Amino acid sequence: MGAFIELDRVEKVFDVRKRTGFLKREVRRVRAVDSISFTVARGEMVGYIGPNGAGKSTTIKMLTGILTPSGGRLRVAGIDPSRERMRLAHRIGVVFGQRTTLWWDLPLIDSYRLMHRMYRIPDARYRENLDRLVELLGLGALLDVPVRQLSLGQRMRGDIAAALLHDPEVLYLDEPTIGLDVVSKARVREFLRELNAERGTTVLLTTHDLQDIEQLCSRVMVIDHGRLVYDGALAGLHEAGGGERTLVVDLARELPPIEAGPTARVVKVDGPRQWLAFPASESAAPLVARIAAEYPLVDLSVREPDIEAVIAKMLSSMGDASVPAPGRETVVPGAQSS
């Protein structure tokens, strides 16, 4: 089976106008997406991550047909998204984590009825999909509740169902777990796993939560300064980034810094609490066992590195050669206008 999503040297260049004086303006040419190429096969589940402003949203907007690429070739299910936006809309589902598409003042079911008619979903298939989504996402008791009365987690589940009623082949999720509590996050992740496993829906998600990626995605793509800087497994990302996790240890009393082997080092001591950094690719278990055996351990917790930190480390470890050239933002000569 060939590639379902195909990007070949896709670019997106914006001209950003900035006032520099009373009438003077400077035009900056920003390469939000700089010659990105990748393919995603049908049924893959891919995490698309990167710092704010790296070009994630711009890529998603090009893949959904919202934005027209400035250059390169882009295909989703064989369709050029920007040219055939409406035809593509029938085959994709989009969930913007911070922006609901549900109808605020109406019962949840009304939003689904609108999808039914707007996407011209055959009656039998609509009912079947609705029943399945209501069951899997636990929406049964919520269908008659006005959306404004739903909690954030309930609304997110409602939005995900709305995006899937028309059986899209690919689901784009922009920050699907942002702001959700632990239980809601787990529920959304479990659902996405099932969706991908049972229906073979291709899933592309952007997130700031590394656990989303760990629990869902076999593949991660990292974008920074508009360039694809990593494409592979999550474990590889930790290695490439030399990412570190932090073990926070509460001891029974104040003690000198813990000595816990060659790969872990104490980075901070505050009374009986100590912070140890260790490689993210390593298991925490032996480290914990060693400390528990030698020190009066009261409590402990492990902190995952956040995505920004992993990416920052990865970029610096790759050295100057692959750090994006400073020419990404260029002042267009002679482009000063009044």
Question: Residue 82 Cβ, how far from another protein at the closest point, in Å?
Answer: 7
* CA–CA distances in Å: residue 209 to residues 4, 163, 194, 206, 310: 26, 22, 20, 9, 12
Counting contacts by CB under 8 A, is residue 129 touching another protein? no
Residue 196 DSSP one-character state: I
Counting contacts by CB under 8 A, is residue 68 touching another protein? yes
Q: Which is nearer to another protein, 101 or 336 (CB)?
A: 101
Counting contacts by CB under 8 A, is residue 19 touching another protein? no
Question: Residue 59 Cβ, how far from another protein at the closest point, in Å?
Answer: 12
The continuous run of DSSP H or E covering 132 comes out as helix 123-137
SS3 content of the chain, % helix, strand, coil (to 5): 35, 30, 35
Query: Per CB under 8 A, which of residues 83..112 are in contact with another protein?
Result: 85-87, 89-90, 92, 94, 96, 99, 101, 103-106, 110
Q: Which is nearer to another protein, 58 or 201 (CB)?
A: 58
Counting contacts by CB under 8 A, is residue 15 touching another protein? yes
Q: Which is nearer to another protein, 66 or 323 (CB)?
A: 66
Counting contacts by CB under 8 A, is residue 114 touching another protein? yes
Counting contacts by CB under 8 A, is residue 14 touching another protein? yes
Strand partners, 250: 273, 299
Long-range pairs of 299-303 with CB within 8 A, sequence gap ≥ 24: 299/249, 299/250, 300/247, 300/248, 300/249, 300/250, 301/247, 301/248, 302/245, 302/246, 302/247, 302/248, 303/245, 303/246, 303/247, 303/248
Counting contacts by CB under 8 A, is residue 158 touching another protein? no
Q: What residue ranges bind another protein (CB under 8 A)?
A: 14-15, 32, 58, 61, 64-68, 70, 82, 85-87, 89-90, 92, 94, 96, 99, 101, 103-106, 110, 114, 117-119, 146
